[in-house]
Amino acid sequence: MTLITFHSFRRGVGRSHIVANLAGLLADSGRRVGLIDGNLRLPGLSAYVGLPEPQINRTLNDYLRGKCEIEQATYAITTGLGTASLWLIPASTNAQDISYATRYGYDIDLFANGLLTIREEMALDLLLVEMHAGLDEESIRLMAIADKAAIVLRHDQSDYQGTAVMVDVVRKLDGPIPLLIANELPRHYPTDEAITRLEAIYNCQVAGVLHHNDDLQITGSGLFVARHPTHPLTKTLQRIAENLLS
């Protein structure tokens, strides 16, 4: 099984949207995919994959606080993409749970054990974990057990310094492969030029770049790639999904 963790220096860079849709596409390619909302401070993946709140009983927070088994917080997702096998472990959107997690953090060893359990139980080929923004002990320790650590950044360089530090940290861990995904490129900026530039700046493999697209702001239930299968953004995400596996 391949474990890919997703990070970013800043929040609001498009991490959740990208991770959720990549998980859907990877599941659609025939793989058994697990998706974990490890962003307990700003949870959001359940909305992106279209898992309705009322259907959520147990969450990752409950598991990490010893209130349930990890399997009890695992939900099969109806992706709208053929027979795709995708499971989500959501984080709680309850205000008290969020403030508890923000204040006390969580036991990363317990988190890692949960990942191993779910890998076995669901016979997963791939496990994608969205972590919270920033660089701290929890995110670094999770990076350390990953096969690949993808760092999402905005293209406008507002997070240049922080992203460079993150790439450096992943490299020093000497295990996970660092990858970059740049989001919100201006509409007319050529993809190839952006990739070449980013590779030169960060000296790191770029899994892909996504242009800003107003269609993303149009809300709807479920994965963007399932609602818009022929959209240019879906095609770009498909290429990124392939690059993640190569």
Ligand X SMILES: Nc1ncnc2c1ncn2[C@@H]1O[C@H](COP(=O)(O)OP(=O)(O)O)[C@@H](O)[C@H]1O
Q: Does 162 bind ligand X (CB under 6 A)?
A: no
Out of Mg ion, ligand X, none, what residue 71 binds, judged by CB under 5 to 8 A for its kind, is none
Query: What distance separates the 2 farthest-apart alpha carbons in the chain?
Result: 50
**Residue 181 three-state SS:** strand
Out of ligand X, Mg ion, none, what residue 8 binds, judged by CB under 5 to 8 A for its kind, is ligand X
Q: Does 163 bind ligand X (CB under 6 A)?
A: no
User: Are 72 and 118 a contacting pair, CB within 8 Å?
Assistant: no
- Closer to Mg ion by CB, 39 or 74: give it: 39
- For residue 22, the minimal CB distance to ligand X (Å) is 12
Span near Mg ion by CB under 5 A; candidates 40-48, 81-89, 91-99, 140-148: 40-48
Candidate list 70, 122, 166, 210; residue touching ligand X; CB under 6 A: 210
User: Are 80 and 227 a contacting pair, CB within 8 Å?
Assistant: yes
Candidate list 5, 8, 16, 74; residue touching Mg ion; CB under 5 A: 16
Residues 2-41 that bind ligand X (CB under 6 A): 8, 11-17
Enclosing H/E stretch for 85:
strand 85-89
At 95, phi and psi to the nearest 5? Answer: -60, -40
Q: Does 231 bind ligand X (CB under 6 A)?
A: no
**Residue 60 three-state SS:** helix
H helix intervals, 105-205: 108-121, 137-145, 160-173, 191-202
Assign residue 32 a region (left: φ > 0; alpha: ψ between -120 and 50; beta: otherwise).
beta
Candidate list 44, 80, 105, 162; residue touching ligand X; CB under 6 A: 44
- For residue 57, the minimal CB distance to Mg ion (Å) is 22
Single out the residue of 210, 197, 160, 161 nearest to residue 14, CA to CA: 210
- For residue 12, the minimal CB distance to ligand X (Å) is 4
- For residue 156, the minimal CB distance to ligand X (Å) is 12
User: Are 142 and 110 a contacting pair, CB within 8 Å?
Assistant: no
Q: Which residues bind ligand X (CB under 6 A)?
A: 8, 11-17, 44, 183-184, 210, 212-213, 216-217
Q: Which residues bind Mg ion (CB under 5 A)?
A: 15-16, 44
